[in-house]
Structure 1
Amino acid sequence: MNLHLIAIFFTIFICYSYDFLWRKALQKSKFSDERKSLITEYFKVILQLSVINILLLCGQYIGIFYMENGWIDYMLINVCFIPFLLIYYTLIRIDFSDRNYQTQKWALEKLKADRSEAELKFLKSQYHPHFLFNALNTIYFQIDDNNDEAKKSIEILSDLLRYQLYDIEKDVTLEQEITYLRAYITFQKMRMSQRLKLDIYFDPLLKEQKIHPLLFQPIIENAFKYVGGEYKIKIQLKLENSRIVFTVENTVSSMRQKEHPSTTGIGLSNLVKRLHLLYSGNYDFKYEQVDDLFFVKLILNTI
């Protein structure tokens, strides 16, 4: 009776142990459809099941198991017990695979919906730049010819709007993007205090590499918006080991130092969403505030 009870509890323990182990493994599995990968997976499962024989041998040696018919009992256990566990593994694998498929299908549908929504927002946003672009042309010709500074500001702003209108739907070269960024920085400087200290560096190696447009502009805009204290802004765009590295540092006011970095507004949040859609798995973006310095770093892998 004792030996039978021990065998029953051992069987229950083994079954629940394998169930727990396999479910944990399947939760992390990518469910590859490749035949070679599937064979390797089942080979590992069979190896795991072979542990039962080791436990049986150890149990018989210490006296808690009794194999009356010797190797025949081992054969019966392997022929009956192990195939049932393999069938069980197949059933839970099918269940996890189906859940994974449904999750991926839902994620794909959501991604399509998000992109459709983004395209709709973009089309709506075009009305405003077109209106401003035409309005600026009208204002430009109404300004007195002697007011060169105002005319220069309108020219720069027109170039910025033209870039946003006609180049945003396709990839651009980094040379084009840098030209835009220089114009944008020049325009921002016009409305800033004379005490602003600006340090800018664009790597001359960055020319023909392709990139999605307007990824750096929100970061620069954020720096100009929140700069304070010593009024310092440092902007660098470099090529490092086939990666595009963009960093921006700006000092902040004493009042701004007390705020959490997440209060930078929707600009950086929207940028993260764009990066996830355009460079999923191929970018690294982080920002932090330490005392009076706010730091942003964006790394893009060239693909």
Structure 2
Amino acid sequence: MYNFQDELRRALLKYALLPAILLALISLLLIVYSWHHYVLTGNYTARQGAAERIERMLVDSDEIMKQLENRINASALPLTGQVQDVEARAALYGVVYETVNQSSLPLEFYLTDAEGNLLLGSRRQLPLPLQDRNWGFMERLRQRQEPVAEFVRMGERQQDFVRGKALYKNNELQGYLLLAIAGENMLAQGQNPGIKLAVTDAYYNQAAAQGSVPVDGQGKLLPLVCGLNGGLAEVEQEVYYVTQSHLPYGVRVLAITPVRSLLVRYFMGGMLLLILLAVLLPVIFWSVQRESRLRAQTVEKLTSKAEMRELVSQFNPHFLFNTLENIKYMVKLNPAAAVKMVMALSALLRYSINNSVQQVRLADDLDYVHRYLEIQQYRFGKRLDFTEEIDSEVWEAEIPKLLFQPVLENAIKYGADKSGIKHVHLSISRQGENLQVAVCDKGPGFSPEALADWQKMLQMEENITEHTGLFNIHRRIQLLYGRDYGVSIREKAGQNCVTICLPYQRAKGE
């Protein structure tokens, strides 16, 4: 059933729950935005920048290797002991140095003979892991004619990316050309200090890092971190968001963002929001319950006033005197009509004094109205011209008791035309989800000033005029169903019309 409690529930939804949901949604959006901006975007930008830089270094070193191979082969300088000749050595060094110097890469180069003896290089000696032709990188290079590129451990915590190529001439091994990039030079300086970067080989052995990354005692990234690409890992009371890029030659670039403090802030913010809602919602619920009680009391008061007014207006001495006088004459002139008037009056009394229900079927209230009109018809005879137009689907609608009889009473009292005929028309119809009751008469109508006063009165919270009937109906409907419903007054096609609008609802049990 539609009532003022429905309106209060809607008000609760509008002014309490919706703001709470909106506040929670805004908080969630802020969390999503900060996570996306500070974690996802920052992590991606740092990793992508490092990966692009390293990939360019790999491509450039490959190009330098090809240029050196071509220039050494084109120089016709033998990679043998003859290179110990000062002039030959200088010429060979010039070929290599010129090519390497043209690049901005932090390269170290080494040129050996077929036995692995250093002929030329950035250092006086080959790094120890590159000195043994029968082990590790040099063994793989000796066994293949294709270039070899991989990370080589140069010390306890140092790994260099080494690219090697066996040099052949007339299908005869001449020597080896090696290019090395120190792992520590693969990452640019000045990266976001809140994001840790790591460069590893295919087995996640750390070659370079910015910041302290979670590794084991051998310098290898922990398994929890290695297996993530866009996920969270908790390591030693810290939570990391990890992404990685896979580059050629087994090179891995990982961006590792510590997020524990951010997650703690999210949690604390969520708890504060819950505490705020836990404090505000009971206050709002209490306010709504209080307003509900006040409105219930007001509705009950207005309903009682409406019922008392109906009793007084219908059964005041003047009404009873006229009715009883009519019955007295009817007993002599038309006993059957007198009996009907007595029965109608009895039905009016029973219906009016029954206070057990406040909501009734429209059919029951219409039956009451018809008995009232029956008495008035005996009184006015042909001077009362009453017609009605009622949709068949509205008979079982639920309405407040004694809703529109006062409107009919006013129409009968003031609705006589110039010839003295009281033309009163009652129409009840369903308009979408609303029930519309209209009572029209052909009386002299309202002056513009009087109509404005009536409409102004209907907008008041409390009536200060002597016109209580329409105001009580209007106020009662608005308290029950909300401000979208009530009474309106207008002139239409020479008729004065009072329209009552309320929600359409079938009576319970129907």
By the TM > 0.5 criterion, same fold?
A: yes
Q: Aligned to 2:489, which of 283, 288, 293?
A: 288
CA deviations on 1:210-248 (whole Å, 9 max, x unpaired) are 654312213323433443667643211346778654322
Shift of residue 193, structure 1, vs aligned partner? 9.7
Aligned partners of 2:36, 2:425: CA distance in 1, in Å?
Answer: 65
Q: Which has the higher strand share?
A: 2
Aligned partners of 2:434, 2:14: CA distance in 1, in Å?
Answer: 33
Q: Partner amino acid for 2:15? A: K
Q: Which has the higher helix share?
A: 1
CA contact (8 A) 2:384 2:423 kept: yes
Q: Aligned to 1:253, which of 432, 435, 444?
A: 444
Name the structure 2 match of 1:6: none
Q: Partner amino acid for 1:269? A: F
Shift of residue 157, structure 1, vs aligned partner? 4.1
Structure 1 position 163 matched with structure 2 position 366: no
Alpha carbons of structure 1 residues 69 and 275: separation in structure 2 relative to 1, 3 Å:
same
Q: Aligned to 2:365, which of 177, 194, 203?
A: 177
Aligned partners of 2:289, 2:269: CA distance in 1, in Å?
Answer: 30
Task: Using the TM superposition, name which of 267-276 and 40-49 deviates more.
Answer: 40-49
SS at match of 2:388: strand
- Which consecutive residues of structure 1, in runs of 5 or more, have no partner in the other structure? 1-25, 32-36
Alpha carbons of structure 1 residues 74 and 195: separation in structure 2 relative to 1, 3 Å:
farther
Q: Partner amino acid for 2:440? A: E
Q: Aligned to 2:28, which of 43, 46, 55?
A: 46
Aligned partners of 2:304, 2:444: CA distance in 1, in Å?
Answer: 38
Shift of residue 296, structure 1, vs aligned partner? 0.3
Structure 1 position 143 matched with structure 2 position 328: yes
Task: Using the TM superposition, name which of 234-243 and 289-298 deviates more.
Answer: 234-243
Aligned partners of 2:388, 2:416: CA distance in 1, in Å?
Answer: 18
CA contact (8 A) 2:195 2:258 kept: yes
SS at match of 1:301: coil
SS at match of 1:146: helix
Name the structure 2 match of 1:97: 281
Alpha carbons of structure 1 residues 118 and 216: separation in structure 2 relative to 1, 3 Å:
closer
CA contact (8 A) 1:288 1:296 kept: yes
CA deviations on 1:254-299 (whole Å, 9 max, x unpaired) are 553432233583222222344356x546x94341314654340334
Aligned partners of 1:236, 1:141: CA distance in 2, in Å?
Answer: 29
Q: Partner amino acid for 1:294? A: C
CA deviations on 1:20-58 (whole Å, 9 max, x unpaired) are xxxxxx973338xxxxx99x9957743442112445489
Aligned partners of 1:242, 1:209: CA distance in 2, in Å?
Answer: 11
Shift of residue 163, structure 1, vs aligned partner? 2.2
- Which consecutive residues of structure 2, in runs of 5 or more, have no partner in the other structure? 1-12, 46-190, 197-255, 459-466
Q: TM-score, normalised by structure 1?
A: 0.61
Aligned partners of 1:106, 1:124: CA distance in 2, in Å?
Answer: 27
SS at match of 1:29: helix
Task: Using the TM superposition, name which of 268-277 and 205-214 deviates more.
Answer: 205-214
Task: Using the TM superposition, name which of 208-217 and 140-149 deviates more.
Answer: 140-149
Name the structure 2 match of 1:301: 505
Structure 1 position 236 matched with structure 2 position 449: no
Name the structure 2 match of 1:271: 473
Aligned partners of 2:326, 2:351: CA distance in 1, in Å?
Answer: 21
CA contact (8 A) 1:173 1:210 kept: yes
SS at match of 1:248: strand
How do 1:8-19 and structure 2 match up within 5 A? none
CA contact (8 A) 2:359 2:398 kept: yes
CA deviations on 1:95-150 (whole Å, 9 max, x unpaired) are 32022122023123324533664687589779968896xx77x9569935436599
CA contact (8 A) 1:126 1:165 kept: no
Q: Partner amino acid for 2:425? A: K
Alpha carbons of structure 1 residues 290 and 119: separation in structure 2 relative to 1, 3 Å:
closer
Q: Partner amino acid for 1:28? A: Y
Alpha carbons of structure 1 residues 220 and 125: separation in structure 2 relative to 1, 3 Å:
closer
- Identical columns (%): 15
SS at match of 1:69: coil
Alpha carbons of structure 1 residues 288 and 54: separation in structure 2 relative to 1, 3 Å:
farther
Alpha carbons of structure 1 residues 202 and 116: separation in structure 2 relative to 1, 3 Å:
closer
Q: TM-score, normalised by structure 2?
A: 0.40
CA contact (8 A) 1:67 1:73 kept: no
Task: Using the TM superposition, name which of 66-75 and 122-131 deviates more.
Answer: 122-131
Aligned partners of 1:196, 1:162: CA distance in 2, in Å?
Answer: 25
Name the structure 2 match of 1:29: 16
Aligned partners of 1:96, 1:216: CA distance in 2, in Å?
Answer: 42
Task: Using the TM superposition, name which of 286-295 and 98-107 deviates more.
Answer: 286-295
CA contact (8 A) 1:140 1:151 kept: no
Q: CA RMSD in A?
A: 5.1
